[in-house]
Amino acid sequence: MSENILDTPIEFLKGVGPVRADLLTKELGIRNFRRLLFHLPFRYVDRSQFHQVSDIVSDAGFVQLKGEFTKVQEIGVGRKMRLSAVFEDESGRIECVWFKGAKWIKPKIHYGKTYILYGKPSLYKNTWNITHPDFESMDARRGRPEQPLQPVYSSTEKLSGKGLHTNGLMKLIQNLLPQVNGGVPETLPQWLIDKMKFPAREKAILGLHAPTDLKSIEAFRTRLKFEELFFLQLVLLLKKNQQTIELPGVRFERVGEKFNQFYAEKLPFELTNAQKRVIKEIRGDVNTGRHMSRLLQGDVGSGKTIVALICALIAIDNGFQVALMAPTEILATQHMESFTKMLEGMDVNVALLTGSVKTAARKEIHSALEDGSLDILIGTHALIEPKVKFQNLGLAIVDEQHRFGVAQRAKLWKKAALAPHVLVMTATPIPRTLAMTVYGDLDVSVIDELPPGRKEIRTVHRFDKSRLKVFQFIRDEIAKGRQIYVVYPLIEESQAMDYKDLMDGYESVTRAFPAPDYRVSIVHGKMKPEDKDFEMRQFAEGKSQILVATTVIEVGVNVPNASVMVIESSERFGLSQLHQLRGRVGRGAEQSYCILMTGEKLSNDARTRLETMCRTNDGFEIAEVDLDLRGPGDLMGTQQSGDLPLDLADLVKDKQLLVTARHIAEQVLEEDPHLDADQNRLLKEGVKRIRRGKQDWSRIS
Ligand code: ADP
Ligand code: MG
């Protein structure tokens, strides 16, 4: 291909020049023709229809008016200054207001000229007005080719000041379009374009800048979104194949003595079918010589720990060591406790390594690891420090709860000559489509069944005004011998206020449940670790009946006798957090309850969250709603989803397209695992491009 016109610096486009070029680069990263071409419209306005001022009866949609400005004035001063103008057509007049940009808008308005005005009317003090309308003169409109659907581009205040608001950008892009002419290379192979009935890439991009109808816009966008999702899936699946099929794994051939002994003598309960199935899936990975990278999803309380333990025994039976990494010290300690308890009387050495292990003990652990006498090392991030060396690490288990990134997982694998098998356990169910992307390089197992005898937790929503009734209910439960959690939100920005709420709450609880009949514990992040431990233990040992706490109890606490979870200001919590908190009860044989307290005023989202919680205990269903409400970024934490090279595609709205992309990517790789076939040449190139980590991967031609 000849040198591409799209590489031309933006300065040289008609209508740009050095000053605007500089600003375009600084403000929008548009350095060359290509980047401008890929500055796609974010919406369109239908310019084929005109309204009359007297037609305006609702604020439901945008209107396009034709008329004149009859008055323009600046109102107020300084930052509060706004620009107000009266716009008239033959049917009436309407006020226009700009709160920003008065400086560059005012000079564009000339009396006696005809303008086309576009905006969304709203009712203010009983008269209609339009805030921040777009407008252009009839002369300017005539100068442009007729385009019924006019693209709207995002811009910035500074660019607008230089005449590059949406219309200015549109003009530049219109100057560019005729020159493109074959400059946008195809990225998808012809067979795939045919199969999906997609438009060519160039056609899609040009078409989005100059569309003729809404249907084609949809088709063009779909093509580009598919491409993003498809290449992402290819990259992930290639990585997965590399990790599993191609990477030699240590082979756990034997079901040995320890496994058998545990099964025969120590198994504390009959495994659920889901647990058995998952263990089988894991066995299927580890005894074949292929490498395991598996995500184990199971709701809180579904019994992942024993699955981890059994896998650990298989590794040990085959002469390997095991690492179990947890996100918090509490959780690591809890794993240590349950492992030690379940392994009592067996010849398996387990140690705990966390940040608070003293140097001498730490050294002992290090040497026991290196001489191979230690079988299982449980810990926090401390495990991935370079000083921690295993003699023979065969299995790395990560109890993740969303807190470890991909990079941290990778560090664990580097701790052995042959990459150890990796089992990532997560307690927060991840919607399928998200798992496909964020964990797209892993195989997935699901424990979708709770141990028998668990009663569904009953969840109700109560307003603050019914607090007395709630207290009475708590009193009755305590009288039956149960224990109660009362949780307060603690959100970073409003810490001081939140602590006050917490302390006020604690006071009112102690007043309603006074000593000596009752004992109330309190736990929050500002307490000294000793004090926290003490209070926590009081509750765990049943010496206090009520635990007032912040979300520190979200992970790690296991008090089967606690049967009521009261969540204060629950409208402020996210869904997955509510679900996690609720998982603290329902661990014993008794009927458990979750009471969601709120004030009277609730946003629509909050209402949806509360309704969802009351409707279902199913973590997967909750996760789906959460994803819809919050979007993938918030759900996964930015460090994970921010890496996704998605500009147009949206993991929530484009679910179906994602599933299709995944499916086709799987098919392609099944037939052509390394994309060596001639017909997949473009795919191979696309994958390389993404791996090179170019920021604008979707934009490279
Ligand atoms: P999580 O998946 O949240 O880590 P745990 O492994 O902590 O769940 O298990 C929760 C509780 O259920 C523990 O007390 C555990 O002993 C118990 N448990 C796990 N599996 C079973 C089972 N098959 N039958 C009965 N109880 C079980
Ligand atoms: Mg667990």
> What is the DSSP secondary-structure string of 8-58?
SBGGGSTTTHHHHHHHHHHHH---BHHHHHT---SEEEETT--B-GGG---
C-alpha triplet 625, 627, 630: angle, nearest 5°: 105
Which H or E run contains 665? Answer: helix 655-671
The 8-class DSSP code of residue 248 comes to B
Q: What single-letter DSSP state applies at residue 385?
A: S
pLDDT digits (tens, 9 = 90+) for 391-429: 999 999 998 755 555 555 566 666 666 778 989 898 777
Pocket test for ligand 1, best of 273, 275, 306, 585 (most atoms within 8 A of CB): 306
φ/ψ of residue 223, rounded to 5: -60, -45
Q: Is 305 in the pocket of ligand 1 (CB under 6 A)?
A: yes
- Average pLDDT for 547-569: 84
pLDDT over 50 at 697, yes or no: no
Confidence of residue 300 (pLDDT cuts 50, 70, 90): confident
Instruction: From 614, 568, 615, 565, select the one nearest 593 (Cα to Cα).
Output: 565
Exposed/middle/buried for residue 75 (C-beta within 10 Å: 0-12, 13-18, 19+): exposed
- Pairing outcome for strands 149-152 and 63-75: unpaired
- Is 261:346 a contact under the CB 8 Å cutoff? yes
Contact predicate 274/282, CB 8 Å:
no
CATH fold for the domain made of 257-447: Rossmann fold (3.40.50)
Q: Check whether 469 has a pLDDT greater than 60.
A: yes
pLDDT at 371 over 90: yes
Query: For tokens 């990494």, what's the residue?
Result: 325
Ligand 1 neighbour 560 (Cβ under 6 A): no
Give me Rg for the CA atoms of the chain. 31
User: What is the spatial distance between Cα 441 and Cα 428, in angstroms, rounded to a whole number?
Assistant: 18
Please give the number of the atom of ligand 1 that sits closest to the Cα of 270. 23
When pLDDT is averaged across residues 75-87 and rounded to a whole number, the result is 88
Please tell me the distance between residue 301's alpha carbon and the centre of ligand 2 in angstroms.
7
Nearest ligand 1 atom to the CA of 305 is: 6
Q: What is the DSSP letter of 120?
A: -
Identify how many contiguous H helices and E strands the chain contains and give both numbers: 25, 22
Residue 453 alpha carbon, nearest atom of ligand 1: 25
Pocket test for ligand 1, best of 302, 398, 554 (most atoms within 8 A of CB): 302
Choosing from 266, 267, 269 the residue with most ligand 1 atoms within 8 A of its CB, the one to mutate for a pocket test is: 269
Confidence of residue 694 (pLDDT cuts 50, 70, 90): very low
> What residues have CB less than 8 Å from 218, skipping those under 6 apart?
none
Is the Cβ atom of 306 under 6 angstroms away from ligand 1? yes
Sheet holding 134-137, edge to edge: 121-124, 127-131, 92-98, 82-89, 63-75, 115-119, 134-137
Q: Is the shortest distance between the CB of 225 and ligand 1 below 6 Å? A: no
Q: Cβ(275) to ligand 1 under 6 A?
A: yes
The answer on pLDDT for 619 being more than 90 is no
The predicted model scores a pTM of: 0.67
* Burial (CB count <10 Å: 0-12, 13-18, 19+), residue 44: middle
Instruction: Name the pairing type of β-strands 483-487 and 562-567.
Output: parallel
Whole-number Å distance, alpha carbon 306 to ligand 2 midpoint, is 9
Q: From the CB of 271, is ligand 1 less than 6 Å away?
A: yes
Proximal ligand: closest to the CA of 302: 1
**Better pLDDT: 620 or 246:** 620
- In degrees rounded to 5, what are phi and psi of residue 52? -115, 150
Which residues partner with 69 through β-bridges? 87
> Which residue shows structure tokens 């052509």?
672
- Cβ neighbours, 10 Å, residue 299: 25
Could you tell me what percent of the chain has a pLDDT over 90?
54
- Same CATH topology for 257-447 and 458-616? yes
Give the relative orientation of helices 304-317 and 273-286 as an angle to the nearest 10 degrees.
30
Which CATH architecture group holds 51-146? Beta Barrel (2.40)
Question: Stretch 65-90: mean pLDDT, rounded?
Answer: 91
Pairing of strands 82-89, 63-75: antiparallel
176 within ligand 1 shell (Cβ under 6 A): no
Average per-residue pLDDT for the chain: 87
Of the candidates 69, 77, 41, the one whose C-alpha atom is nearest the C-alpha of residue 133 is 69
**What distance in Å separates the CA atoms of residue 259 and residue 316, rounded to the nearest whole number?**
9
Percent of the chain residues past pLDDT 70, beyond the cut: 91
Average pLDDT estimate for 113-123: 91
269 CB under 6 A from ligand 1? yes
Residue 20 has pLDDT above 60, yes or no: yes
The least confident of 104-113, 543-552, 579-588, 687-696 is 687-696
Residues 576-612 pLDDT 10s: 889 988 988 988 888 999 999 999 999 999 999 999 9
* Ligand 1 within 6 A of CB of 298: yes
Residue 46: the pLDDT is: 79
State the closest ligand 1 atom to the C-alpha of 560, by its place in the atom list counted from 1.
Answer: 14
Give the closest residue (by CA) to ligand 1 atom 25: 451
Whole-angstrom distance, CA of residue 504 vs CA of residue 499: 8
| From 105-119, 340-354, 439-453, 570-584, the region with the lowest mean pLDDT | 439-453
Contact assessment for residue 187 and residue 198, using Cβ atoms and an 8 Å cutoff? no
Query: Is 451 a pocket residue for ligand 1 (Cβ < 6 Å)?
Result: yes
Minimum-distance ligand 1 atom for the alpha carbon of 308:
6
- Whole-angstrom distance, CA of residue 681 vs CA of residue 661: 18
Structure token digits, residue 450: 């709770």
Looking at per-residue confidence, does 237 or 48 come out higher? 237
Class of domain 458-616: alpha beta
The more confident residue out of 225 and 496 is: 225
Q: Is the pLDDT of residue 699 over 50?
A: no
Q: Give the tens place of pLDDT for each residue, 203-240.
A: 999 999 998 888 899 999 999 999 999 998 999 899 88
Residue with CA closest to ligand 1 atom 27: 451
How far away, in angstroms, is 450 Cα from ligand 1 center?
A: 8
Judged against a pLDDT cut of 50, whether residue 642 lies above it is answered with no
Indicate left, alpha or beta for 586 from its phi (over 0: left) and psi (-120 to 50: alpha): left
> Which ligand has its closest atom nearest to the C-alpha of 339?
1
Closest C-alpha to ligand 1, atom 23: 271
Ligand nearest to the CA of 310: 1
Place of tokens 């603290």: 584
pLDDT number for residue 571: 95
Ligand 1 pocket, residue 588 CB under 6 Å: no
CA atoms of 372 and 408, how far apart (whole Å) = 24
Alpha carbon 97 to its chain's center: 37
Nearest CA to ligand 1 atom 26: 451
Each domain of the chain, given as residue ranges in start order, spans 1-47+153-180, 51-146, 201-245+649-700, 257-447, 458-616
